[in-house]
Structure 1
Amino acid sequence: MLPQSRSLEEIVRAFRWQVPAQFNIGVEVCDRWAARDPGRLAVVAVDAAGRAHDVSYGWLRETSNRLANALAAHGIGAGDRIAILLPQMPEVAAIHVAIYKLGAVALPLATLFGTDALAYRLKNSGANALIADAQGLAKLADIRRDEPDALAGLSLVMSVDGPGDGALGFGETLARASTDFTPVDTAAADPAMMIYTSGTTGQPKGALHAHRVLIGHMPGIELPHDFFPQPGDRFWTPADWAWAGGLLDCLLPSLYCGVPVVARRFDKFDPEEAFALMAREGVRNAFIPPTALRMLRAAPSPRGRHALDLRSVGSGGEALGAETFEWGKSALGVSINEFYGQTECNLVVGSCAALGVVRAGSMGKAIPGHTVAAIDAEGRPVKPGEIGQIAVKRPDPVMFLEYWGRPEATRDKFIGDWMTTGDQGTVDDEGYFTFVGRDDDVITSSGYRIGPGEIEDCLIKHPAVALAAAIGKPDPVRTEIVKAFVVLKPGHVPGDALAGEIQSFVRTRLSAHEYPREVAFIDEMPMTTTGKVIRRLLRTRA
């Protein structure tokens, strides 16, 4: 744990990584706590009716041991990839623990994935086993019919909803397995999980991570959650636990620290229900992606209608924006601590309101233990305020091992010892990072380089705008012009008059070269499963 301190600089000076040679995520997030206090609360599972069911660390240990034995009995072992296609539920936590204790590799898959996305990941990873529910089995049946070779590596399928369609029943199988299991003594550098990139451009790549990735995440959890953990902490995120944000920004760090996690499946994110859940279950810490925060703004006076007791709110995955940051302070009663990272190297920049390291429109400063800079094409840090590519220096325990089966892509990710992110940003003379945009998102217009984030932040300040995205549209005179795609709030009618009003709104608040010269109204914003706008799809519609 990071020491309490009066300044980030003091923490940075004193910080040293302590990564043991041997480390197993499953043992550390489950068995260590179960040995001390098997009745300690681990997960609070909330159903659609609001009923809560408590799950202990003892249950996690017993269930994960049974599953590890069952998997081993079917020939699944160290290094094998085990896919998890399930929503937030206690079984997901137990499955992860079992996989790590077995020395296998967890392959979390988002429940929102369609059959094409699932088939690609199952085939590319060579997954050996899959654990799903009835909905997941239905998708698997479609894949088996349309693309059977994608499932060639699967030797075992289990369903938490019982046997059928070629799947073994999860509960029935575990009931026959022993509760005693000796975890594999994994090295900290051994593979533990593979998370596919969100794929805003090109085919997703499997980022393979070692067991040490959990240690590498902890400073980036502790600071943005204002010296997490504190007595009484209780964590929740609406993010799918299959996403790096849900798994490594919430579930595993919380269990590692002995902090209960609230699990609740939302078929569709509901702002009112989200506030009610946080109040009812006493959520103290939340990781809420920017898109979800913007949706929460639709619920008026949340603190006036819900007994919220939030201590910390962290947000990342895309730019938060000054407007949402300011809304958070008044509506939630806390400063939203923005942080930054990506699937390959997460939580390397962040904010900490407890230390005064928080600024509207900024992602924060480099987290202790991580060397982060904005660099040029030769790998040299740029001057303060200049735009460069955000990069992280190796070695770093949070950094991925490799892209699965893609050695060239792995090599191309680096300039020397700098792992490049593909994100453009600036660093000021105080060390604050500001996100400008993806390499392919930055708009070049009339000689200006324009980041879409500032434009989008301005757009959502307009009272008619619910969601917005800005892209560059090719233009023979200006190289590109700014085009905005807008989802309107209920009660507003699209039309030329409103488009002109929105254009004037941005022009008067930003500048003549940044305002959108075209505005398109759309019903739904194309997004990845992690809530990031898929700009390449918008470009095809420009």
Structure 2
Amino acid sequence: MKKTDLIAPEQYNIVSEIEQYAEQADKKALIYHDDEGHQTTVTYSELIAGANQYGHVFKAHGLKKGDKLLILMPRSIETYYLYIAALKLGVIVIPGSEMLRTKDLQYRIQHGEVTAVASVDVGADQFERVDGIDHVTKFIIGQPRDNWIDLTGEAQDQSTELETIQTHRDDVAFLPYTSGTTGNPKAVIHTHGWGYAHLQMAPKHWLCIEEDDLVWATAAPGWQKWVWSPFLSIMGTGATAFIYNGRFNAETYLKLLQDNHINVLCCTPTEYRIMSKLENLTDYDLSHLHSAVSAGEPLNREVIDQFRDNFNLSVRDGYGQTESTLLIGFLKETALRPGAMGKAIPGSETCVVDDDGNPVPPNTVGNIAVPLDLPALFHGYYKDPERTKAPQRGDYYITGDQAYMDEDGYFWFDGRKDDIIISSGYTIGPFEVEDSLIKHPDVKECAVVASPHELRGNIVKAFIIPQDGVARDDTTVKKLQNYVKQDVAPYKYPRAIEFVDDLPKTNSGKIRRVELRDLEQRRYDEQHRS
């Protein structure tokens, strides 16, 4: 595949890739399974009809092309309605998780110049203390609420036909926020044309989705990975999305895979790790599964071996970023090489370059990079030209990760140049956690780093210098953990806290997180050698 094959038609709306399947009356789009065992099936024609009704409500309340809609939804049928409705109208979607707290919402609404929000009822409380929320149009899904528009209720009486607004391939479609090592989260600009390029790469070459496959991608809405797989990759290829909105349990996951005859699975390394620990794997029949992939962090050799030995299935690794799409991975035809990241996805032109943007020889550690003109690359960070320019070297965009490429084209991960923490598939910026902790009256100084963990890949760990007189005990640990859960988000809290007397710093006073990361890695290695 050539890079030019990734360029969308000039006038292009990503919803056209989904809407084409609505012409087949009984073609299944979604199968929703709740934690009580109830299932609901939605066809493509029903999906588009429901989205069109939502779109009419948006129009009636003034939403138009170029407006920004912040969406806070769980795994649900309505989430698909919302995304499709907004994109059909040319409205820019800002994905959000129902786990976001007031602070996160405040920043996104102000920085993203949000016109409207659409939230599941259980997430609406977090908006009460947001400054300026009275100037934002608020739609609620679920239990009606004062001063919110009952989106589901109003949609019932709307037409099921809705014209798609004409959009250019360079018009913005998504504005996801991603954590940075310093400063506030960055808003990544993705266009309708990016969606087209993504569809030419990830679902075809890595996920290996075939039309009419039943595909379970476990990522939750609010993250770009949900836009990648559960939404675009499945809906854009005419497959059926399996949705499970329940807590993770290894036995439950395997039973759902077996009983529903799932064909393609995409989940986090943590989920695979926990499933692989079960002693009764041979009790489950996964013979319908022809493709299993994982992304977010490297897979353990043990996990790969367990799935191969018990299910005759190769779990294939993949690598990409919020700023791009899948860039490196193991395709079905790529021979597995344990420990490697895989090869460059066709069309991505991913390579390894030095700090000046020059390609390096094989087996030389450098920066994982892609050409700046790759159609599947973001169009910059919203309202942030300096951070947009920072990762550019010559003709390349530098991902921030380092690796080397061997003579056969396999990439081998070496580490991150920055301090981003990837835990259970979540990308977490240490600055956000440190900023929260330092506000607590018991904390004098702190540093947050990734600490290796057998199941989660890494966990968030905080090294804390407490204020004088503060007890260095479990009570204080729990108090600080609960504080971060409420102030930032539950998935970002430090699962480990160590009280220290000082922190390693540079001569200019900057904390040297690298020393703390190395310390945690040494401790982990020593523990697992004994």
Superposition TM-score, scaled by structure 2 size: 0.79
Q: Which amino acid aligns with 2:84?
A: V
Q: Which amino acid aligns with 1:401?
A: H
Identity of aligned residues (%): 27
Q: What SS does the aligned partner of 2:326 have?
A: strand
Q: What SS does the aligned partner of 2:367 have?
A: strand
Match of 1:108 in 2: 95
Q: Which amino acid aligns with 1:251?
A: F
Q: Which amino acid aligns with 1:207?
A: V
Match of 1:235 in 2: 215
Q: What SS does the aligned partner of 1:327 have?
A: helix
**1:369-398: CA deviations, max 9, x gaps?**
111111111111122111111111021221
Match of 1:24 among 13, 29, 41: 13
Match of 2:131 in 1: 148
User: Quick one: distance in 1 between partners of 2:180 and 2:391?
Assistant: 15
User: Quick one: distance in 1 between partners of 2:170 and 2:265?
Assistant: 29
Match of 1:139 among 119, 126, 130: 126
Aligned pair in 2 of structure 1 residues 480, 308: CA closer, same or farther (>3 Å)?
Answer: same
Match of 1:419 in 2: 397
* Residue 100 of structure 2 is aligned to residue 122 of structure 1: no
Match of 1:349 in 2: 328
Match of 1:193 in 2: 174
Match of 1:484 among 520, 523, 526: 520
User: Quick one: distance in 1 between partners of 2:458 and 2:143?
Assistant: 42
| CA drift at 1:15 | 8.3
Match of 1:403 in 2: 381
| CA drift at 1:276 | 1.8
Q: What SS does the aligned partner of 1:378 have?
A: coil
Q: What SS does the aligned partner of 1:180 have?
A: coil
Q: Which amino acid aligns with 1:106?
A: V
Match of 1:272 in 2: 251
User: Quick one: distance in 1 between partners of 2:117 and 2:310?
Assistant: 41
* Residue 144 of structure 2 is aligned to residue 166 of structure 1: no
Match of 1:298 in 2: 277
| CA drift at 1:480 | 4.2
**1:307-366: CA deviations, max 9, x gaps?**
55211111111122333322332244311111111000120111113x134322112111
Match of 1:489 in 2: none
Q: What SS does the aligned partner of 2:175 have?
A: strand
Match of 1:503 in 2: 526
Q: Which amino acid aligns with 2:372?
A: R
**1:414-440: CA deviations, max 9, x gaps?**
112211111111111111112222103
Match of 1:496 in 2: none
Number of aligned residues: 452
* Residue 53 of structure 2 is aligned to residue 46 of structure 1: no
Moved more, 110-119 or 340-349: 110-119
- Unaligned runs of 5+ residues in structure 1 are 1-11, 443-454, 487-498, 508-542
* Residue 206 of structure 2 is aligned to residue 224 of structure 1: yes
| CA drift at 1:19 | 2.1
User: Quick one: distance in 2 between partners of 1:84 and 1:13?
Assistant: 35
User: Quick one: distance in 2 between partners of 1:271 and 1:394?
Assistant: 41
Aligned pair in 2 of structure 1 residues 475, 61: CA closer, same or farther (>3 Å)?
Answer: closer
Aligned pair in 2 of structure 1 residues 338, 96: CA closer, same or farther (>3 Å)?
Answer: same
User: Quick one: distance in 1 between partners of 2:44 and 2:2?
Assistant: 36
Superposition TM-score, scaled by structure 1 size: 0.77
Asked if 1 retains the 8 angstrom alpha-carbon contact of 2:72 and 2:118, the reply is yes
Aligned pair in 2 of structure 1 residues 176, 282: CA closer, same or farther (>3 Å)?
Answer: same
Asked if 2 retains the 8 angstrom alpha-carbon contact of 1:470 and 1:483, the reply is no
* Residue 42 of structure 2 is aligned to residue 55 of structure 1: yes
* Residue 232 of structure 2 is aligned to residue 249 of structure 1: no
* Residue 157 of structure 2 is aligned to residue 179 of structure 1: no
Aligned pair in 2 of structure 1 residues 356, 97: CA closer, same or farther (>3 Å)?
Answer: same
| CA drift at 1:505 | 3.9
Q: What SS does the aligned partner of 1:403 have?
A: coil
Match of 1:310 in 2: 289
Asked if 1 retains the 8 angstrom alpha-carbon contact of 2:72 and 2:120, the reply is yes
User: Quick one: distance in 1 between partners of 2:383 and 2:418?
Assistant: 25
| CA drift at 1:198 | 3.6
Asked if 2 retains the 8 angstrom alpha-carbon contact of 1:79 and 1:104, the reply is yes
Asked if 1 retains the 8 angstrom alpha-carbon contact of 2:30 and 2:42, the reply is yes
Q: What SS does the aligned partner of 2:308 have?
A: helix
* Residue 193 of structure 2 is aligned to residue 207 of structure 1: no
Match of 2:58 among 71, 78, 84: 71
User: Quick one: distance in 2 between partners of 1:23 and 1:200?
Assistant: 35
Aligned pair in 2 of structure 1 residues 415, 195: CA closer, same or farther (>3 Å)?
Answer: same
